[in-house]
Structure 1
Amino acid sequence: MLGFVIQRLLQAAVVMAVMSAVVFVGVYAIGNPIEIIIPPEATQEIREATIKRFGLDLPLWEQYFIFVTNLLQGDFGRSFIYNVPVLELIAGRLPATLELVLISVVTATLLGVGLGVYAGYRPESLIARGIMAVSVLGFSVPSFWVGLILILIFAVNLGWLPAGGRGEVVSFLGVDWSFLTPDGLSHIFLPALNLAFFKLAMMIRLARAGTREIMLTDTIKFARAAGIPERQILTQHLLKLISIPIITVFGLELGSTLAFAVVTETIFSWPGVGKLIIDSITVLDRPVMVAYLILTALLFVLINLTVDLVFALIDPRIRARGA
């Protein structure tokens, strides 16, 4: 097991090293932030001083070397626009994105697996057909359209829920959370529903396919022949056998939703990291853009590493192959 862990950690380190170079070169090759930071009426002396202060007069390789050196010390630099440390800026927006993503992905997974297992266990029932129709709809419509329709129905026409914002927050463990207040819950309901819709459809189809496949295996036939109750077969045998693909998709969807909840946060004016990166791209705030992409890559690497370790604990064959 130790060799398996060391191998995965080395792979993660190589991936992060390559991603840091790709992200840095890619972002710093886009535009010139000085044209946005400095007003047109600024003198040449002010322009040169500003360029030197941000280190933009140095060769790209030297800028990258300084960036990596600071990065290894936990310093992602300072925002060009907000003039605060980038990590501090992202950390201030992260709780809003984190609670939105966790609520949507966890809800979609729990509900989707349950509905998918039922649809696979009773495929000919009317309820199962309705469940599959919902999953088809979830795959067919774009998320921005769903968000606009949700706002139109529940916020504009019915007036039941707010159209945007985060609402009232309460501090817990030094962090502001909105889902702990009734007003915050009313604000998070629509964006969480919008984010969860596609994930729900994916989990339904994944769980249904896995259920249909497993129910035809000898394992289930032998369990039934042994007189094991159907409820026990579903909870102890079926769910364990379909758990590996579900865990994989859950980890990847959690990471992708955290990284790319941009559309939902923009539509619902949710003050999270996604909206921050859109604003940073607009004004070419390079340190924020680089830090966001590096942290996103790190997030996916950590999630994949965690999923691999969970697989190794569930299935010893995976651990043996990776040793």
Structure 2
Amino acid sequence: MFGYFTKRLIQIVVVLWAVSVLVFVMMSFTGDPTYMMVPLDATEEQIAQARRLLGLNDSHLVQYGHFLSSLVRGDFGRSFVFRQPAMQLILERLPATLEIVILAMAIALVVAIPLGVYAGASPERASSHAVMAGSLVGISLPGFWLGMVLIYVFAVKLQLVPSSGRGPTQELFGLRVSFLSWEGFRHLILPALTLSVGTLAILIRIIRAEMMEVMKQDYIKFARAKGADRRGVLFKHGLKNALIPLVTVFGLMMGDLIAFATLTETIFAWPGIGKLLVDSIYRGDRPVIVVYLMFVAFMFVVVNFVVDILYAVIDPRIKVK
């Protein structure tokens, strides 16, 4: 086990180093940050001095060395726009993003598991075909279009929920969250529902495919022969053995939603890290963009590591080594 952890730690370090190289190269060709640091009426001498202070006159290799050294120290620089440490901005916005992502994944699981199990256990029924047709529609719907439709129907026409913003927040374990109050939760519903639809549709198809395969196995036939009820066969024996691919996809999709909820957060004016990234790209706020990209890379490698550990927890036959 220790050897496995050591190997995965080395892999994480190598992946993050490779990402740092890509981020540095990408940032090097996105314009000169000097003009974000000097007044609009700055002289050529002031611009040249700013370039020296930023180290932009050094070679790219030297600049990367300074860049990597700062990353190792945890110094990601200060936002050009907000004049705050870039990492602090990400951490302040992260709880807002986690709220809608966790609620979206909860909605997706609660709906996808029973529908996917049913569709896989009875694939020839018309209702099963209807479930699969609905999942195909869910996969095909663009998120930005779905978000606007939900706003029009539930916020504008029916006026059941707010159309934008996060609503009131309360402190929980040092984090500002909105789901503790009814008004805050009402603000959560539409963005979380928008995020959940695509994930829900994909999970239904994966669960159905795995259940169709599992239902052919001998232990399912044996459980039926012993007189086990249908619900027990499906959920105790069938679903448990179909969870391995579900865990893989679930982990990756959760990381994907956290990293790329930019359109949803922009549509609903949700103050998460996705909207912060969009605003930073628009304003050329390079330090925030760098922190976001490195944070997303770190998050994905951690999620993959956790998924590998969960394999052994779900199925003891799988050994981590």
The TM-score by the shorter chain falls in which range?
Answer: over 0.9
Q: 1:202-249 deviations in whole A, cap 9, x for unaligned?
A: 111111111111111212112212333322222221122111000001
Secondary structure of 1:16's partner? helix
Which residue matches 2:62? 62
Deviation at 1:105, TM superposition (A): 1.4
1:222 aligned partner, one-letter code: F
2:292 aligned partner, one-letter code: Y
Deviation at 1:272, TM superposition (A): 0.6
2:247 aligned partner, one-letter code: I
1:294 aligned partner, one-letter code: M
Which residue matches 1:106? 106
CA RMSD for the aligned pairs? 1.7
Q: Is 1:198 equivalent to 2:191 in the alignment? A: no
Percent identity, aligned pairs only? 45
Q: Could you tell me how far apart the structure 1 residues matched to 2:55 and 2:167 are?
A: 40
Q: Could you tell me how far apart the structure 1 residues matched to 2:5 and 2:228 are?
A: 37
Deviation at 1:318, TM superposition (A): 4.0
Conserved? CA contact 1:28–1:286, under 8 Å? no
Conserved? CA contact 1:37–1:81, under 8 Å? no
Deviation at 1:316, TM superposition (A): 4.9
Q: Could you tell me how far apart the structure 2 residues matched to 1:68 and 1:307 are?
A: 28
Q: Could you tell me how far apart the structure 2 residues matched to 1:54 and 1:81 are?
A: 16
Q: Could you tell me how far apart the structure 1 residues matched to 2:205 and 2:39 are?
A: 54
Q: Is 1:89 equivalent to 2:89 in the alignment? A: yes
Secondary structure of 1:164's partner? coil
Secondary structure of 2:159's partner? coil
Q: Is 1:280 equivalent to 2:280 in the alignment? A: yes
Secondary structure of 1:171's partner? strand
Q: Which consecutive unaligned segments of at least 5 residues does structure 1 have?
A: none
Q: 1:235-282 deviations in whole A, cap 9, x for unaligned?
A: 221122111000001100010100000000011111110011111111
Conserved? CA contact 2:121–2:234, under 8 Å? no
Q: Could you tell me how far apart the structure 2 residues matched to 1:74 and 1:112 are?
A: 40
Q: 1:131-175 deviations in whole A, cap 9, x for unaligned?
A: 223211101111111011111111122222211110111111221
Q: Could you tell me how far apart the structure 1 residues matched to 2:125 and 2:182 are?
A: 38
Which residue matches 2:28? 28
Q: Could you tell me how far apart the structure 1 residues matched to 2:162 and 2:107 are?
A: 21
Q: Could you tell me how far apart the structure 1 residues matched to 2:276 and 2:216 are?
A: 49
Deviates more, 1:41-50 or 1:23-32: 41-50
Deviation at 1:196, TM superposition (A): 0.3
Deviation at 1:126, TM superposition (A): 4.5
1:12 aligned partner, one-letter code: I
Q: TM-score, normalised by structure 2?
A: 0.94
Conserved? CA contact 2:35–2:47, under 8 Å? no
Structure 1 253/292 Cα, relative in aligned 2: closer, same or farther at 3 Å?
same
Q: Could you tell me how far apart the structure 1 residues matched to 2:233 and 2:75 are?
A: 52
Q: Which consecutive unaligned segments of at least 5 residues does structure 2 have?
A: none
Q: Could you tell me how far apart the structure 2 residues matched to 1:309 and 1:214 are?
A: 23
Deviation at 1:317, TM superposition (A): 5.0
Q: Is 1:175 equivalent to 2:175 in the alignment? A: yes
Q: Could you tell me how far apart the structure 2 residues matched to 1:87 and 1:64 are?
A: 19
Conserved? CA contact 1:33–1:283, under 8 Å? no
Q: Could you tell me how far apart the structure 1 residues matched to 2:58 and 2:183 are?
A: 50
Conserved? CA contact 2:36–2:80, under 8 Å? no
Count of residues in correspondence between the two structures: 321
Q: Is 1:41 equivalent to 2:41 in the alignment? A: yes
